[in-house]
Structures are given as C-alpha cells and as structure tokens.
Structure 1
C-alpha cells in the first residue's frame, strides 16, 4: 500500500526535522534503512556485524532477566 501525497509530504517534513535536530540519529536511521533494503552502498560485512551486535545484546538481555528471576526465586525461598 503506497502513501498518499499528503502522507509523503508529512513524512518528508519529519525526516527534515530529524536531520536538523539530530543529524547523528538521522545517519543511523539511514544506515539501517540501507541495510534493510539490501542497498549495496554499505559493505555486506557491516550489515552482518550490526545484526550480530544486535543478536548478542538481545541474548544478553535475556540472560540478565533470567538471572534476576532465579535470584528472586532464591531470595523468596530462603526467606
């Protein structure tokens, strides 16, 4: 489903505002969009490293949450 002209205009205004307010974030969003669209302007290794980085951090979050749950259970049992 494509965007209407008004929606495209609003999206362009939001993008311009983002570029003005936080150029670093705008660069990161653009890089993610290029990776997701399989743009060849970024080396494939960069996309793979980014995906690996995200995957490692997601698993670390799960591990920490699991550890917190285990520690809470141990604390509940011992009191």
Structure 2
C-alpha cells in the first residue's frame, strides 16, 4: 500500500484535484507533459544520429592539429640544428 495511503484516499485526492483545477486544465497539463516527453525523445534520437558525424568532425579537427604540430616541430628542428 503506498506508505499507508489506501486506494480510497488516492481517489479522494484525485477528486479534489479535479475539482480545484478542472478537467480542461488537467488535459492541457497532460498534453504539455506529453509534448515535452516527445520533444525530449526526439532530441535524444537526433543526438544518437549526430554522434557518428560529430566523431568524424572531431577526428578531422584532431588530424589538422596534428599536422600543425608536425609543422611546428619540423620548424623548430631546423632552427636548432
């Protein structure tokens, strides 16, 4: 039993909530919550599909940095010799 709360107490609480807020407002809150969850799932799916592209871009950046480092290293190597 949910921490000492019976089913009848939950029904009474639900009835009070419906009386206070009304069914239209509760429907709007439910719709907003559903669209928020849908948007969150869509963002998570977009993130998963973007991961391979992001990894490729990151690898390209690292290769560019490695090439710059090699140029600097060869320049310093020539000056010290």
TM superposition score normalised by structure 1: 0.48
Give TM-score, length-normalised by structure 2. Answer: 0.47
